[in-house]
Amino acid sequence: MIYGVIGDIHSNYDALTAVIDELQQENVDKILCVGDIVGYAAEPVACIELLIELNCISVAGNHDYAVVDKFPVGYFHADARAAVFWTREQLSHIHRNYLQKLPLVVELDEITLVHGSLNHPECFYYIVTEPDAQLSLDLLETPICFYGHTHVPLAILLDNGIRYVERGSIIDLNAKEKALINVGSVGQPRDWDLRACCVVYDSEKKIVKTKRVKYNIKHAVEKIYEAGLPGINALRLTESIS
């Protein structure tokens, strides 16, 4: 089985369609999403509808839940909060219901999906320190967990009891006890590479490939300004602001 795994789309439809085109060229069998479909950018409806069309399996991100009042908006900084309020006005009952029903964690076959940490996933903690990583590894009941939230792709691997970080574009999971794979961000990368990011996972070969995909950033930026969203949300796409 070949999976395409995406996340942190953040209403960036230009980036999403470019990534989906790339995954289709990779002949993926199934697309999975680690959440934050909406937020920041200007096309939440188009992004939701494309994932529905693709029958994508997704978990909820903090922005997804904030839009439907399942996560406190007070946790967000001003530009993110403004996008939450704006997004609420764009969604129909069908779109809100879709976000409302997204689960926090999904397990399928040997894979777990979560947006942030497996440690109280409803709190959307970040995995940024060694103790953060260990908490999720301890709770992980499958060999591999795909997650997002930081918008930075990397792999945290457990090999013979030793935990370490890999940042290469190809990760071999053979003989690894457990793996936490951050899939980066489709719609708002924060690692100084402005291209959209996703991963491809071959479950037979146990290989994860990180893919970077060019898209029309100028077009996405123009839509943010036209929507009246905060300008910083557009600058994030051009300057990789954290």
* pLDDT single digits (tens) 145-186: 999 999 999 999 988 887 878 888 999 999 899 999 999 999
Helix (H, G, I), strand (E, B) or coil at 89: helix
Is residue 8 within 8 Å of residue 61, measured between CB atoms?
Answer: yes
Q: Check residue 13 and report its DSSP letter.
A: H
- Taking the C-alpha atoms of residue 41 and residue 33, their distance in angstroms, rounded to an integer, is 18
Asked whether the predicted pLDDT for residue 241 surpasses 70, the reply is no
Confidence band of 239 (pLDDT split at 50, 70, 90): confident
Q: What is the pLDDT of residue 51?
A: 98
- pTM of the entire structure? 0.95
- Taking the C-alpha atoms of residue 23 and residue 201, their distance in angstroms, rounded to an integer, is 11
Helix (H, G, I), strand (E, B) or coil at 209: strand
As its CATH architecture, domain 2-239 has 4-Layer Sandwich (3.60)
- Segment 92-111 mean pLDDT: 97
Q: What is the pLDDT of residue 55?
A: 96
- Mean pLDDT, the chain, whole residue set: 95
Q: What is the pLDDT of residue 20?
A: 98
Residue closest to 6 by CA, chosen among 153, 108, 204: 153
Asked whether the predicted pLDDT for residue 29 surpasses 70, the reply is yes
Helix (H, G, I), strand (E, B) or coil at 135: helix
Q: What is the pLDDT of residue 163?
A: 85
Confidence band of 114 (pLDDT split at 50, 70, 90): very high
- Segment 114-122 mean pLDDT: 98
Asked whether the predicted pLDDT for residue 41 surpasses 60, the reply is yes
Over residues 43-71, the pLDDT tens digits come to 999 999 999 999 999 999 999 999 999 99
Is residue 179 within 8 Å of residue 172, measured between CB atoms?
Answer: no
